[in-house]
Amino acid sequence: MFQEEFVTSSASMRVRFGAGVRRAIGEEMETQGLSHALILATPQQAGTAQEIAELLGARACGTFTGAVMHTPVSISEEATEIALRLQADCVVAVGGGSTTGLGKAIALRTDLPQIVVPTTYAGSEATPILGQTEGGRKTTITTPRVQPEVVLYDAELVCSLPVGMTVTSALNAMAHAAEGLYARNRSPISTLMALEGLRAFRDALPRVLERPQDLKARGETLYGAWLCGTVLGQVGMALHHKLCHTLGGSFDLPHADTHAVILPHAISFNEAAVPDLLAPIADIFGVRTAGRALYDFAVATKAPIALRDIGMKETDIDRAADIATQTPYWNPRPIEREGLQRLLRAAWAGEAPS
């Protein structure tokens, strides 16, 4: 559908794809005029951080393996102090959204350049957004200061992502693209990227599940993650992301699983208001509606499909609907309590969206 008016701008960042491309990290630092990297990772990925440190040799000035979920301010301050003490001139974040978040938090405080080597499909490396937590409260800021400068997408590193996380992480990425299709500030470019990102996951995720070590399929899913993450960085999100935020924050449901369950239902809810904008999703999957297409894809990839299976109690449905309607936000379809209750009931039970 041709869009007559739009504004688009893109971040200046260098993106390099290829199986094994992490081995070019020293060369990438040199190109940027950098020579002292602090390497960041979670405790679980300390081995990968060690490999990067060995690849960098004297260009690595230290390693910090304390990255955790939700970017707590105390950890960011500790890591920032280490970066300053070691006189790092850049950070290298190797991991998923949690590690990338730590690199962004250091950049916010120091303006150090960031090189990111993503190992999930979350897409944080492609956005100028940072979510941080302090005293149990999560706040989000958007500033070019946290936008990474260089991203190296290495299919070899994503092969170790367990199958369950592979699926939920992919659906998390696809949610950025799906909501990008009806964003008020979308552009023809963000729409192209969203559709190509969804297509890449449609084609490659089933192949990854068949053969998790298939580098070509893993590379294609990373390509999808980059496109979907770029959409997230360029346009505003709506009901799906807000609902996942509510469920995660108020009922402590797991982040990526919640995205996987809610996506078909949120898209189906909005499809009633913007059928033309979502029709391309139905076309990509060859299914009658976008909501049903995403539900069938989730079932086919053995994603979690019911909130009751990921820790939500049936008695919490009404409270969740109340919380999600309390803070008003833009959505293509007005959000009323009853509609949201119906949506949540179907998602709780794992039923196909109507």
Q: Does 155 engage in binding with ligand NAD (CB under 6 A)?
A: no
Q: Per rule CB under 6 A, is residue 147 in the interface with ligand NAD? A: no
Report in angstroms the alpha-carbon separations of 145 from 103, 127, 142, 151: 11, 11, 9, 15
Largest CA distance in the chain: 61
234 interacts with ligand NAD by CB under 6 A: no
User: How far is the C-alpha of 127 from the C-alpha of 237, rounded, in Å?
Assistant: 13
> Binding mask 173-212 vs ligand NAD (x if CB under 6 A, - otherwise)?
----------------------------------------
Instruction: Give the contacts of 25 (CB within 8 A, at least 6 positions apart).
Output: 52, 55, 56, 92, 115, 117, 152
For ligand NAD, give the closer residue by CB, 70 or 145. Answer: 70
Grouping H, G, I as helix, E, B as strand and the rest as coil, residue 28 is: helix
Q: Which is nearer to ligand NAD, 169 or 221 (CB)?
A: 169
Instruction: Identify which range of 155-163, 205-213, 275-283, 288-296 contacts ligand NAD by CB under 6 A.
Output: 155-163
Distance in Å, CB of 334 to ligand NAD, minimum: 27
Span of 2-10, 39-47, 189-197, 273-281 interacting with ligand NAD by CB under 6 A: 39-47
Question: Which residues touch 202 (CB under 8 Å, ≥6 apart)?
Answer: 284, 285, 297
* Nearest residue to 171 via CA among 279, 293, 297: 297
| Nearest residue to ligand NAD, scored by beta-carbon proximity | 97
Strand-pair category, 114-118 with 129-134: unpaired
What residues between 112 and 141 interact with ligand NAD by CB under 6 A? Answer: 119-120, 122-124, 127, 129-131
Exposure on the CB side of residue 45, measured as CA atoms within 13 A: 29
Residue window 79-108: x/- pattern of binding to ligand NAD, with contact defined by CB under 6 A = ----------------xxxxx-x-------
**Among residues 139, 136, 141, 208, which one has the least CA distance to residue 170?**
208
- Tokens at residue 114, please? 């960031």
CB of 101 to ligand NAD, least distance (A): 6
**Is 69 a residue that touches ligand NAD (CB under 6 A)?**
yes
Among positions 169, 221, 258, 331, the unique one binding ligand NAD when judged by CB under 6 A = 169
CB of 110 to ligand NAD, least distance (A): 18
Coil/strand/helix, residue 313:
coil
- Tokens 């559908």 map to which residue? 1
With vertex at residue 181, the alpha carbon angle to CA 93 and CA 217, rounded to the nearest 5 degrees, is: 50
Among 255, 259, 265, 292, binds ligand NAD (CB under 6 A): 255
- Establish if 44 lies at the interface with ligand NAD (CB under 6 A): yes
Q: Which residues bind ligand NAD (CB under 6 A)?
A: 42, 44-45, 69-70, 95-99, 101, 119-120, 122-124, 127, 129-131, 157-158, 160-161, 169, 232, 255-256
